[in-house]
Amino acid sequence: MELGQLRAVLFDMDGTLVTSDASVERAWTTWAGEYGVDPVEVLSQAHGAPAESTADRMLPQLDGAARAAAALRQMELQYDDLSDIEAAPGAFEVLAVLDRLGLPWAVVTSADHQLAKARLGAAGIEPPLLVTIEDITHGKPNPEGYLRAAELLGIDPRYCLVVEDAEVGLAAGRAAGAMTAALKGLAGDLRLDNLHQLADSLNRPGE
């Protein structure tokens, strides 16, 4: 698919539309200390993935109920940590371009609804459609969230652009059949340093 054929854009939240990396890392580092696991290993696996799947990988010795409680504890550590949450550079610019072009967009996140609304609200972003981990059965890298968003928008996922900053999210976008735009030096159909570049590309899709 070429950008000129694009019919919708599906954004990840943390590290993509919202600069929440520091908050995420603080929460996981605290959590790792509480559960006696290596924070470096936790951080290498946690970004972009649901808390439940990270807890399952890091604490396989616990039973299912205990791992669920550990995942809940991790989310609790994040709910009130909004001190440095902002819109990512270029976020408002690219959303304005989408509005001008009449292209629908959505946020698809591994966070739950409470955390997603809190972070997006702190950043001043109100998505027309929000798909959280609570709306699906399988989180990233499973494509279910992106497929669900495309379905709700009424757009074939082949004509959607998934914008991500984590490999698990890019894998989900690819599995959904969407075009991908990758931040932070990751590999995608488009490679972006920031969302300003995406806004520029959408303004000039044939170049």
- Give yes or no: 14 in active site: yes
Task: Select from 6, 2, 51 the least CA-distant residue to 153.
Answer: 6
In sequence order, the β-bridge partners of residue 181 are: 163, 190
**Residue 182 to residue 119: CA distance in whole angstroms:** 21
- Give yes or no: 12 in active site: yes
CB 119 within 8 A of CB 27: no
- Of residues 14, 81, 112, 165, which has the active-site annotation? 14
Q: Is the dihedral of CA 86, 159, 155, 173 positive or negative?
A: negative
**Residue 166 to residue 17: CA distance in whole angstroms:** 13
- Of residues 12, 81, 112, 165, which has the active-site annotation? 12
Q: Is the dihedral of CA 67, 26, 123, 151 positive or negative?
A: negative
Neighbours of 166 (CB within 10 A): 23
Question: Interhelix angle for 64-79 vs 113-123, to 10°?
Answer: 20
Active site residues: 12, 14
